[in-house]
Amino acid sequence: MSDPKVEKEAGSAEPAQQPEKRKREYKDFGEEEEKVTHAKVDMAQIQLKAEDLYDKEKVDLETIVVDDVFKLLQCDENGLTDDEANRRLELFGPNRLESEEQNPILQFLSFMWNPLSWVMEAAALVAIALSNGEHRPPDWEDFVGIVVLLIINSAIGFYEERNAGNAVKALMDSLAPKAKVKRAGQWREIESAQLVPGDMISFKIGDIVPADCRLTEAINVSIDQAALTGESLPQSKKTGDQCFSGSTCKQGEAEGVVISTGPNTFFGRAANLVGQDDDTTGHLQKILAQIGTFCLVVIGIFVIAEIFCLYAGFRYHYRRGLDNILVLLIGGIPIAMPTVLSVTLAVGAQQLAKYKAIVTRITAIEELAAVTILCSDKTGTLTTNKLTIDRDTIRTYGPFSPEDVILLAAYASRTENQDAIDTCVVGAIGDPSRARAGIKLLDFKPFNPVDKRTEITYREEASGKLKRVTKGMTGIIIELCTRNKTEEIENRLEADVEEFATRGLRALAVAFEEVDGDDPEGEGNGFELIGLLAIFDPPRDDTKQTIDDAMALGVKVKMVTGDQLAIAKETGRRLGLGDHMYPAKVLKDGPEPGSRFRTLDEMILDADGFAGVFPEHKYEIVKRLQALGHLCAMTGDGANDAPALSRANVGIAVEGATDAARSAADIVLTEPGLSTIVHAIRGSRVIFQRMRNYAIYACAVTIRIVVCFAILAFAFKFDFPPFMVLIIALLNDGTIMTLSVDRVLPSNEPDSWDLAEIFAYAVAYGLYLTLSTIALVAIAIRTTWFYDKFGVTLTNGATRAVDHNDPQLHAVVYLQVAIISQALIFITRSHGFFFMERPSFALMGAFGIAQLISTIIAVYGDWGFTNVQGISGGWVGIVWVWDIVWFFPLDLIKFAMKATIIKYLRNRHNKVIAQHAKESGVPMTRTTSRAASINESLYANRVSFIRRAARKVGFGQKISMKPEELQRFSSIQAARTGNVLARHPSRPS
């Protein structure tokens, strides 16, 4: 079982011979081993106090000597008794995560839990309950229409959310269901969920470590924990070392004592970080909150004005006043806004699927358009997680060429049952069969932790000579090289190894000798150092181009890796990221005194990356960047990335990611490489433009309906039928949904919701359209101009609307409002003249159909409950010409707004940004709307509401998981284990 852990070999094996000569330490790349300690308490005292066990300065089950672990956990190498194991199972709980399931009914109802829906629900109550008066039946038509709108909106949102991935469920799906444990001196197999602190466990090659443990026996053990820590290579483990549960045993076999299980473990803590922010408000919810607040304030002002004016001023009857208020509530609330945006995002998700990107949370598409920083894991994401020989840096010390050195190193490697080092060496020669071609294997010595090298003795078939090759740790190999170990060679080797270490490259030395005679066991003529191989985890083929493209789109890329600092810097240099990278400890200690950074936030913003980070560090980095106003995307592939993927505005799991990473992510890539991310960014910005266009349109229509019909009521006592407003809303929303496939161009910079601009445009457009309707009504009521010029009449042949609520005048107003309100979308969707930016065929077709339906309703609609009567073809022509005449100046209004108010708002905003940067030293992002709005909690992710409701109606119990769903864990925190045992000492036997 060969596993030359070259990155761990530095400094761990110093030859005991030649004491008279200066010992060269060959600082190969690797971390310093953590020294074991003793518990700083009286170990004769078994019953420890809780405060002692919480004090990591006194007790740390990860690093104290194993004998102290047994004393603290009150166990021995014979294992626990069944009674004690059951007692501890009650104390610590099962070795798994508990999960809550949402009740689907409550989840569906939660989509009606926001202020926009509340207003529509209030309107429904007004229609069905409060309108039941004055000997008139309830307003069933409006009630049914409102309820249908609400149900459609909730159904779409419910469907999308139920399809979203569940990170904790995926963590449970990656379990090790069985574990080998010693109980009462006997080995047996149990469910891993039954493991408790103090249990003795064993595992071998191919097994998943079932719980966090300290090794009591280790035979040539190598553990792959890349998915947990981000380290590229499997790690050699010896007696006393800690093993993370959830990692995989790649070599050897071991026994250990369990020190932590369940949510007390490191992996358990990481799982708790996943989704712990469920009660926070998403970015799109914040935007909807502020748009909704704008609409509600406008509606509220005019509803209050109508109550005072119509009831106190005009002495309206109860029912008549309610009908006018219903018009404002139904027409003013953009109730379909979440639905329209959801459809737009869903279509975008389908488009991204063409690039092999699965979107599990569609609102992430909108956030991706605004992302300013992309944090990326290194191992398996930016790199291939497959070790490779770096041919450009091979050093030779003898007559052999770099290709010869690689071939000889391949001879000294296993061709089956390979570890990571042997795999990369044999893979470097191209054809693996060459590793045994032309030679006859006579003897092979695999890697072992003592010798730290592999060795092959073979006969060269061409010459018949016996030869021997060895590869391994530089310090060991050079001591064997008696033929050319000169001061000059040693100095060169030491310098080369030091250079490799500073660049994060693992050094693998290769030596060669010839053997006299025919005895494979015979002495050779002395080893000769022939080469030094550099091993590294290479970047993916498209990574550099992806990073360059992302930067060209205004997105800053930062590397966040669990690997060592030198490796991170070398990878950053190769990818063009830069090498301003820092170790994870700066996240705790902050910038050094006297450095150019005043705060940790400044350092995080400046850094090209961080190395040696744990899941909580990645989580903290993302959280701090978000607190600075940035929208962050995070890419990753391992369980150690899951918390940060969950925390990020957009989590992206790359191809080959673990289940935990995929389910914590918002976008999952199904093909190798990162180029899809750039496609996703561009696609998301197209979708963002569509949503921005709709937001301007929706706010403008709110202004247009509310202000228009309120003024008509005040000026002419004009009572527009609520049901006709409902029809306008339905037709408008049906047409606007085609914006999801409209033609727009993506921006070259991160997008942002500048709500001041949106509201400014909306007010200008809304007031202008209001004027168009008021002018039409005023002429029809005050004059006979339409009759005089076009010969059209109203009900009973009236030449003007003597009755201000003439049923045909209602139809005329309905048609005028319906046509020009929908036509407004062609203005909001374009940046220049509307006819210069061709819309999609779907939008044009939907607009045409909607106008045809509106015209038919205006001509043939004769519904008594709506107080509408069909109009003549003359009126239809008048309305169409009227709207066309009023439509063309809308472009001029847009250009005038850009030159005045919008320009002023942008200049003011830029001054605020500059002032903030000057005062704090930390640049502020452009989007002020990313800051929390006052009432955003009303639009929050509805989890908290669901949970409160579930508890009240009895749906809040924990859900028991099946045995095959038991969770693996690994941990750093074990103090809680001892704490619980201290509070619940073993029962006397």
pLDDT per position as a tens digit, 838-889: 898 989 999 999 999 999 999 998 877 778 888 999 999 999 999 999 999 9
Query: What local confidence, expressed as pLDDT, does residue 844 receive?
Result: 93
Q: Is the pLDDT of residue 219 over 50?
A: yes
Is pTM, for the whole model, over 0.85?
A: no
Q: How far apart are CA 82 and CA 185, in angstroms?
A: 11
Q: Name residues whose C-beta falls within 8 Å of residue 766's C-beta, 6 or more positions apart in sequence.
A: 699, 700, 701, 702, 703, 704, 707
Q: What is the pLDDT of residues 674-692, one digit of tens each?
A: 788 888 888 888 888 888 8
* Across 713-726, average pLDDT: 90
List C-alpha distances in Å: 316 to 206, 324, 768, 810: 82, 10, 29, 19
Phi, psi of 490, deg, nearest 5 = -65, -40
* Across 560-568, average pLDDT: 84
Q: How far apart are CA 692 and CA 667, in angstroms?
A: 22
Q: Is the pLDDT of residue 168 over 50?
A: no
Tokens 């969950």 — which residue? 646
The beta strands (E) that lie in 309-405 are given as 357-359, 373-376, 388-389, 395-396
Q: Is the pLDDT of residue 162 over 80?
A: no
Query: Residue 728: what residue type?
Result: I
Q: Is the pLDDT of residue 650 over 50?
A: yes
Q: Which residues pair with 514 in a beta bridge?
A: 467
Model confidence band, residue 101 (pLDDT cutoffs 50, 70, 90): low
Q: Is the pLDDT of residue 976 over 90?
A: no
Tokens 């004016």 — which residue? 309
Model confidence band, residue 952 (pLDDT cutoffs 50, 70, 90): very low
Model confidence band, residue 24 (pLDDT cutoffs 50, 70, 90): low
| Torsion of the alpha carbons at 60, 61, 64 and 66, rounded to the nearest 10 | 170
Q: How far apart are CA 751 and CA 749, in angstroms?
A: 6
- Widest CA span in the chain: 126
Q: 175 in helix, strand or coil? A: coil
Q: Name residues whose C-beta falls within 8 Å of residue 201's C-beta, 6 or more positions apart in sequence.
A: 179, 180, 181, 182, 195, 210, 211, 213, 255, 256, 257, 258
Q: How far apart are CA 779 and CA 782, in angstroms?
A: 5
Cβ proximity of 373 and 379 under 8 Å? no
**494 token code pair:** 């030491």
Q: Is the pLDDT of residue 718 over 70?
A: yes
Q: Is the pLDDT of residue 245 over 70?
A: yes
**140 token code pair:** 């069933």
Q: Is the pLDDT of residue 18 over 60?
A: no
Task: Please provide the average confidence, as pLDDT, over all residues in the chain.
Answer: 78
List C-alpha distances in Å: 512 to 397, 454, 455, 679: 11, 12, 10, 51
* Across 60-70, average pLDDT: 75
Q: Which range is most confident: 31-40, 57-66, 848-857?
A: 848-857
| Domains and their CATH numbers in the chain | 107-164+286-346+682-902 (1.20.1110.10), 357-384+540-670 (3.40.50.1000), 388-536 (3.40.1110.10)
Q: Which of 302, 212, 216, 341 is nearest to 264 (CA)?
A: 212
Share of the chain above pLDDT 70, in %: 78
List C-alpha distances in Å: 290 to 297, 524, 803: 10, 81, 40
Query: What local confidence, expressed as pLDDT, does residue 916 receive?
Result: 64
**What separation, in Å, do the N-terminal and C-terminal C-alpha atoms of the chain show?**
45
Query: What local confidence, expressed as pLDDT, does residue 275 receive?
Result: 52
Q: Which of 607, 580, 880, 925 is nearest to 751 (CA)?
A: 925
Query: What local confidence, expressed as pLDDT, does residue 106 receive?
Result: 76
Q: Name residues whose C-beta falls within 8 Å of residue 372's C-beta, 6 or more positions apart in sequence.
A: 554, 555, 556, 630, 631, 632, 750, 925
**331 token code pair:** 């027409």
Q: Are strands 650-653 and 632-636 parallel, antiparallel or unpaired?
A: parallel
CB-CB neighbours of 774 under 10 Å: 18
Q: Which of 60, 142, 241, 377 is catalytic?
A: 377
Lowest mean pLDDT among 338-352, 640-654, 831-845: 338-352
Phi, psi of 987, deg, nearest 5 = -70, 140
Query: What local confidence, expressed as pLDDT, does residue 416 receive?
Result: 77
Query: What local confidence, expressed as pLDDT, does residue 26 receive?
Result: 56
Q: How far apart are CA 981 and CA 196, in angstroms?
A: 11
Cβ proximity of 691 and 740 under 8 Å? no
Cβ proximity of 672 and 546 under 8 Å? no
Q: How far apart are CA 480 and CA 670, in angstroms?
A: 48
**934 token code pair:** 């006052």
Phi, psi of 562, deg, nearest 5 = -85, -5
Q: How far apart are CA 777 and CA 157, in angstroms?
A: 40
List C-alpha distances in Å: 780 to 43, 248, 788, 802, 861: 98, 82, 11, 9, 20
* pLDDT top residue among 403 and 278: 403
CB-CB neighbours of 467 under 10 Å: 19
Query: Residue 885: what residue type?
Result: V
Q: How far apart are CA 406 and CA 401, in angstroms?
A: 9
Cβ proximity of 705 and 691 under 8 Å? no
Lowest mean pLDDT among 6-20, 222-236, 610-624: 6-20
Query: Residue 752: what residue type?
Result: S
**654 token code pair:** 């790359």
List C-alpha distances in Å: 298 to 435, 770, 807, 962: 78, 14, 28, 53
CA–centroid distance for 605 within its chain: 19
Model confidence band, residue 25 (pLDDT cutoffs 50, 70, 90): low
Q: Are strands 528-536 and 388-389 parallel, antiparallel or unpaired?
A: antiparallel
The beta strands (E) that lie in 198-329 are given as 200-204, 212-224, 235-237, 242-243, 248-260
* pLDDT top residue among 9 and 807: 807
Q: What is the pLDDT of residues 289-346, one digit of tens each?
A: 788 888 889 999 999 999 999 988 888 887 788 888 888 888 888 876 766 776 777 7
To which H or E segment does residue 43 belong? none
Phi, psi of 662, deg, nearest 5 = -60, -40
Q: 148 in helix, strand or coil? A: helix
CA–centroid distance for 866 within its chain: 50
Cβ burial, residue 773 (10 Å; 0-12/13-18/19+): buried
* pLDDT top residue among 69 and 58: 69
- DSSP annotation of 381: I
* Across 249-273, average pLDDT: 76
* Across 583-593, average pLDDT: 84
Q: Which of 594, 593, 596 is nearest to 580 (CA)?
A: 596
* Across 32-53, average pLDDT: 46
Q: What is the pLDDT of residues 373-398, one digit of tens each?
A: 999 888 777 887 788 888 888 999 87
- DSSP annotation of 380: I
Share of the chain above pLDDT 90, in %: 20
* Across 424-453, average pLDDT: 85
Q: What is the pLDDT of residues 602-616, one digit of tens each?
A: 889 889 999 888 878
Q: Is the pLDDT of residue 32 over 60?
A: no
Cβ proximity of 199 and 74 under 8 Å? no
Cβ proximity of 46 and 547 under 8 Å? no
**493 token code pair:** 């080797």
Q: Is the pLDDT of residue 278 over 80?
A: no
- Quick one: CA dihedral 172, 175, 177, 183, positive or negative? negative
Q: How far apart are CA 96 and CA 966, in angstroms?
A: 6
The total number of residues written for the chain in this structure: 989
Query: What local confidence, expressed as pLDDT, does residue 744 receive?
Result: 85
* pLDDT top residue among 166 and 959: 166
Q: Is the pLDDT of residue 972 over 60?
A: no
* pLDDT top residue among 262 and 214: 214
The beta strands (E) that lie in 570-672 are given as 581-583, 609-611, 632-636, 650-653, 667-669
Lowest mean pLDDT among 161-170, 180-189, 395-404: 161-170
To which H or E segment does residue 470 belong? strand 466-472
Lowest mean pLDDT among 115-119, 206-210, 716-720, 834-838: 115-119
**815 token code pair:** 């048609």
Query: What local confidence, expressed as pLDDT, does residue 41 receive?
Result: 54
Q: Is the pLDDT of residue 950 over 50?
A: no
Query: Residue 567: what residue type?
Result: I
Q: Which range is most confident: 160-174, 275-289, 621-635, 815-829?
A: 815-829
Q: Which residues pair with 533 in a beta bridge?
A: 508
Cα within 13 Å of Cα(453), Cβ side: 23
Model confidence band, residue 940 (pLDDT cutoffs 50, 70, 90): very low
377 is catalytic: yes
**765 token code pair:** 């457009």
List C-alpha distances in Å: 913 to 350, 646, 925: 37, 29, 7
* pLDDT top residue among 273 and 773: 773
